[in-house]
Chains A and B, each alone.
Chain A
Amino acid sequence: QKEVEQNSGPLSVPEGAIASLNCTYSDRGSQSFFWYRQYSGKSPELIMFIYSNGDKEDGRFTAQLNKASQYVSLLIRDSQPSDSATYLCAVTPIQGAQKLVFGQGTRLTINP
């Protein structure tokens, strides 16, 4: 089982709709969870991080964490074509907490 799993997509969402990106992780002791966005040919950039169970909102983005289910998600409200990118989920493992383990990423396309 991969440490961090994401559906590779592509996920296609109409403009203005909610895009939902999901991620599961295997290390039950993981404490910190990150979402990065990566445009084609560019490097990943941080969208947001979450440490506590529940929801965390930042503008149009909401991260949701459920540690019991080992599940983290990212919701993008009012999706825009500029949101089209690959979204990477990353997790801090309990061993080696200075590092991040990345999922393979989900490619998201917002259709005008």
Chain B
Amino acid sequence: DVKVTQSSRYLVKRTGEKVFLECVQDMDHENMFWYRQDPGLGLRLIYFSYDVKMKEKGDIPEGYSVSREKKERFSLILESASTNQTSMYLCASSFNQGALIGNTIYFGEGSWLTVV
């Protein structure tokens, strides 16, 4: 079974703090993703990485950065947390199977972040 593990399930942080969300996958997937999910807005892509040290902005990258130093690990960084970043954050991974065929994305359990 594919395993995508997010290190923190529930976090409470103060405004202005730097926040790290860690994600590890054990399936040797090339692609890794960070999404956030909010009521009424659905799943929105923050950042995408298709290889070590490679990253691509998603739909809502503002206020976030990412790091991928190893293939299995993808970190999301909130440089200065704000209350509007309170959300559920989902890490995901997939194989790179070619340009036309979509790739099944597997999700981690999610990290619930509250910024106060």
**Are B107 and A97 in contact (CB-based, < 8 A)?**
no
- Closest residue to A101 on the B side, CB-wise? B45
- Tally of chain A residues near chain B (CB < 8 A): 24
By beta carbon, the residue of chain B nearest A32 is: B102
CB pair B104–A43 under 8 Å, yes or no, is: no
User: A31 touching B102 by the CB < 8 A rule?
Assistant: yes
Asked if A28 is an interface residue, CB under 8 A from chain B, the answer is no
Contact yes or no, A105 B42, CB < 8 A: yes
Interface string of A36-79 (1 = CB under 8 A from B): 00000011111001010000000000000000000000000000
Number of interface residues of B (CB under 8 A): 26
- The interface residues of chain A, by DSSP majority, are classed as loop
Can you add 15 more A-B contacts, CB < 8 Å, to A31-B101, A98-B103? A32-B103, A42-B109, A46-B104, A49-B102, A51-B101, A88-B43, A90-B105, A97-B98, A97-B102, A98-B50, A98-B96, A100-B102, A102-B42, A102-B43, A103-B42
Contact at B40–A45, with CB atoms within 8 Å?
no
Q: CB of A26 within 8 A of chain B?
A: no
Name the distance in Å between A31's Cβ and chain B's nearest Cβ.
Answer: 5
B26 to chain A, nearest CB (A): 16
B107 near A43 with CB under 8 A, answer yes
